[in-house]
Structure 1
Amino acid sequence: MPYCDKCRVEVPGDRRRCPLCQGQLPPGGDPQAEVFPVVPTVYRQHHLAIRIFIFLSIAAGVICVACNFLFTPHRWWSVLVLAGIGCMWVSVSSAVRRRHNLPKNILWQVFWLSMISLLWDFLTRWRGWSVTYAIPGFCVIAMLCLLLLARILHMKSEDFLVYMILDGLFGIIPLAFILFGWAKVSYPSVICIVASVLSFTALFSFAGRKTQAELQKRLHM
């Protein structure tokens, strides 16, 4: 066990400096005796794969920009490729950060995918497919995924009720698309709204007390 001559204490673990005076410690520490062991993050565990993924993304972007400049300079389609790569990284990073909380991960994926679809619709001269099909579809799929996860993983009610409510609130947003005439086809938005209403009805009918208690706990009511 390394000994600090200045502080006159033995330092457990495999430290290079004394935690009290920051002085240099002699070698010979025991990594097994470390009080607070280093917990590897997902980036350290898969650093090679992440670096390869980053390299391939940058290489694809550079090659597309070069090909665009050389062969089709009158149409800058490479901007869409770069935007797609950026959107992919936003979605992947959000999924990795919240990988231990699947309901929260699903909810954030709905948010980011909705924002990405709006961005892509805007970049491709706005045809309305994002508000007509994409956003209502994301909300409905998220509700189904939350229900399946709750059944398959036997999740406790407090682990998914709040996220189910938030996703149901997202699912009512397509009502604005219909009222303002943004949705060119109404049935995807109608299906999403109906699914949200049925979701709220089921929550308060079959788990009303748990839902109310969870809301009071989360909102400090």
Structure 2
Amino acid sequence: MRYCQHCHAYYYKKETTCTICGRPLIEKTHESKVITQGYPTIKLKSNKAKFVSKIFGVISIAVVIILAMINFATYNSNPTPWSLIAIGPIVYAWILLSQIIISKHNYPTKVNRQVILISLVLILIDVITEYKAWSLTYVIPALLVTTTIILPIVVASKPKTYYLHVRSLFFLMIMNFVVGIIGFTTPFMETGVTWTSLSVLAVGILLLSTMFTFARKDTWTELIKIFRI
């Protein structure tokens, strides 16, 4: 074996100079346990997150196709695109997750801005098309419910940084309450349709109770800072 007197490294291959310091090597029998030349073997870890996302992606695509086919097959007896009510949140859920993955930092704030922007665009489209109240009655509540379910789960996956996102979660809860109250106090939603308003109110209350149940101290501390109590 070849040996470097300066680095105390053995070489199994027929090297003439040390790859670490460049000094010439000498012939020497291996006498002690030392760190030899080369790098440790890299063990590749399987990315379970990608595997799970692929499974959910396949399931989501299957659900979308099935709903669309049922809606198409029954359209003559029920001429309404009801499948869009279910397909919309599924598509938005994937858009939301991709936004979170891309925006690794301060993503709750960016998600809230995204919800507000999409909501305003939907309301504008609804107004331009003679305002049939579908935006505030169905689509915006669906966006809020989907966001309120997914975003806290992602935030909870990193509990050490939870305090950074209390403000955004609290603002998301307020948006739920505002949309829910609009359904019961204004004529801007379809008459008689209250389950969507109840849904956003329910997830808003659930979010608030979850914040105080699992992170009461951090939540109180951050709310005190926000309202300067």
**TM-score under structure 2 length normalisation:** 0.50
Superposed displacement of residue 178, structure 1 = 2.2
Write the deviation string for residues 65-122 of structure 1: whole angstroms up to 9, x where unpaired: xxxxxxxxxxxxxxxxxxxxxxxxxxxxxx7xx9332111111111111111110101
Supply the distance in 2 between the matched residues of 1:208 and 1:145 (Cα, whole angstroms). Answer: 20
Q: Are 1:201 and 2:209 counterparts?
A: yes
Structure 1 vs Structure 2: percent identity of aligned residues?
22
Contact persistence 2:149–2:203 (CA under 8 A): no
**TM-score under structure 1 length normalisation:** 0.52
Q: Are 1:186 and 2:191 counterparts?
A: no
Change (3 A) 1:153 1:127: same
Superposed displacement of residue 219, structure 1 = 3.8
Q: Could you say which residue in structure 2 is the equivalent of 1:117?
A: 122
The letter for the 2-side match of 1:188 is T
The letter for the 1-side match of 2:199 is I
Q: Could you say which residue in structure 1 is the equivalent of 2:15?
A: none
Q: Which has the higher contact order (CA 8 A, sep 6+)?
A: 2
Supply the distance in 2 between the matched residues of 1:154 and 1:211 (Cα, whole angstroms). Answer: 12
Contact persistence 1:171–1:196 (CA under 8 A): yes
What is the Cα-based RMSD across aligned positions, in Å?
2.4
Q: Secondary structure at the match of 1:156?
A: helix
Contact persistence 2:108–2:168 (CA under 8 A): yes
Contact persistence 1:103–1:146 (CA under 8 A): yes
* Partner residue of 1:138 out of 140, 143, 166: 143
Q: Could you say which residue in structure 2 is the equivalent of 1:157?
A: 162
Write the deviation string for residues 150-171 of structure 1: whole angstroms up to 9, x where unpaired: 1344552212221111100000
Contact persistence 2:156–2:162 (CA under 8 A): no
Change (3 A) 1:180 1:114: same
Q: Secondary structure at the match of 2:171?
A: helix
Supply the distance in 2 between the matched residues of 1:119 and 1:182 (Cα, whole angstroms). Answer: 13
In structure 2, runs of 5+ residues without a counterpart are 1-98
Contact persistence 1:146–1:160 (CA under 8 A): no
Which protein shows a greater Rg?
2
Q: Could you say which residue in structure 1 is the equivalent of 2:224?
A: 216
Q: Could you say which residue in structure 2 is the equivalent of 1:63?
A: none
Supply the distance in 2 between the matched residues of 1:211 and 1:154 (Cα, whole angstroms). Answer: 12
